[in-house]
């Protein structure tokens, strides 16, 4: 993972940085690695279409889109790989989906003050069926709220003592995201499976190295 965290940042800041970073990465790959892309028979026209701004969609809208395409997803459920593929088809660049239910997101994801049942988070779905490559959003910086969320999810509070202390002593509002390096490379290179991007993938017949 590539993990980025920003002090005094919001969900919108997170979206903007994610978009800027992906556009930059794609641009540099096209600028410096066209020969390698040609060698692996990657259709570079797919990457040349990756420009800002990225399309954006709320979780509420996404559920309706999926249902219209035959998915049995209901509000409150998390998206699987097939759902992400259905959502991103028709787009020639990554799709940003925000406002997921808090129940399907990590305990530290900040709830929307106006709709506490949804989180101030975003997933970035790559086109061509490659699914989520970035996930992030605003974090909870209030220690008391964090403790409540830990209790709601039946997590062992003692395991997070250090995390709570970080919020008690000197934290600030913050946001960020994680990008899956292998997933991103698989998309950039047009590979069939993410294991092709890993130097030593763990397989059923090989666990080491």
Tokens 């002090």 belong to 7
**Share above pLDDT 70 across residues of the chain, in percent, rounded to a whole number:** 100
Per-residue pLDDT band at 26 (split at 50, 70, 90) = very high
Q: What's the mean pLDDT in 178-191?
A: 96
pTM of the model: 0.92
Q: Which is the CATH superfamily of the domain at 2-197?
A: Bira Bifunctional Protein; Domain 2 (3.30.930.10)
Q: What is the pLDDT of residues 33-70, one digit of tens each?
A: 999 999 999 999 999 999 999 999 999 999 999 999 99
Per-residue pLDDT band at 8 (split at 50, 70, 90) = very high
Question: Which pLDDT value is given to residue 135?
Answer: 97
| DSSP codes of every residue in 14-60 | HHHHHHHHHHHHHHHHHHH-HHHHHHTT--HHHHHT--SSPPEEEHH
Question: Which pLDDT value is given to residue 189?
Answer: 97
Question: Which pLDDT value is given to residue 10?
Answer: 96
Question: Which pLDDT value is given to residue 199?
Answer: 84
Residue 209 has pLDDT above 80, yes or no: no
Residue 133 has pLDDT above 90, yes or no: yes
Paired with 98 in beta bridges are 58, 122
Mean pLDDT of the chain: 94
**Domain residue extents for the chain:** 2-197
Question: Which pLDDT value is given to residue 118?
Answer: 97
Question: Which pLDDT value is given to residue 206?
Answer: 80
**Share above pLDDT 90 across residues of the chain, in percent, rounded to a whole number:** 87
- Please tell me the distance from the alpha carbon of residue 84 to that of residue 21, in angstroms, as a whole number: 21
| DSSP codes of every residue in 77-134 | PPP-HHHHHHHHTT-SS-EEEE--BGGGS-TTBPEETTEEEEESEEEEEETTTTEEEE
Question: Which pLDDT value is given to residue 90?
Answer: 87
Q: What's the mean pLDDT in 176-189?
A: 96
- Asked which of 61-65, 93-97, 153-157, 197-201 is least confident by mean pLDDT, the reply is 197-201
- Please tell me the distance from the alpha carbon of residue 133 to that of residue 3, in angstroms, as a whole number: 12
Per-residue pLDDT band at 202 (split at 50, 70, 90) = confident
Per-residue pLDDT band at 205 (split at 50, 70, 90) = confident
């Amino acid at each position: 993972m590539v993990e980025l965290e920003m002090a005094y940042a919001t969900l919108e800041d997170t979206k903007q940085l994610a978009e800027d970073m992906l556009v930059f990465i794609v641009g540099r790959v096209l600028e410096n690695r066209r020969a390698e892309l040609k060698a692996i028979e990657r259709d570079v026209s797919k990457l040349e279409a990756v420009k800002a701004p990225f399309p954006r969609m709320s979780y509420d809208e996404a559920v309706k889109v999926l249902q219209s395409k035959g998915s049995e997803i209901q509000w409150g459920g998390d998206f699987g790989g097939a759902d992400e593929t259905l959502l991103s088809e028709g787009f020639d660049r990554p799709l940003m989906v925000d406002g997921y239910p808090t129940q399907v997101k990590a305990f530290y994801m900040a709830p929307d003050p106006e709709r506490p049942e949804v989180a101030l988070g975003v997933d970035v779905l790559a086109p061509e069926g490659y699914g989520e490559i970035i996930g992030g959003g605003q974090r909870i910086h209030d220690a008391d709220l964090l403790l409540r969320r830990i209790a709601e999810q039946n997590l062992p509070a003692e395991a997070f003592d250090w995390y709570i202390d970080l919020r008690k002593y000197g934290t600030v509002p913050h946001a960020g995201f994680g990008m899956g390096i292998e997933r991103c490379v698989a998309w950039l290179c047009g590979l069939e499976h993410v294991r092709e991007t890993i130097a030593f993938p763990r397989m059923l017949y090989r666990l080491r190295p």
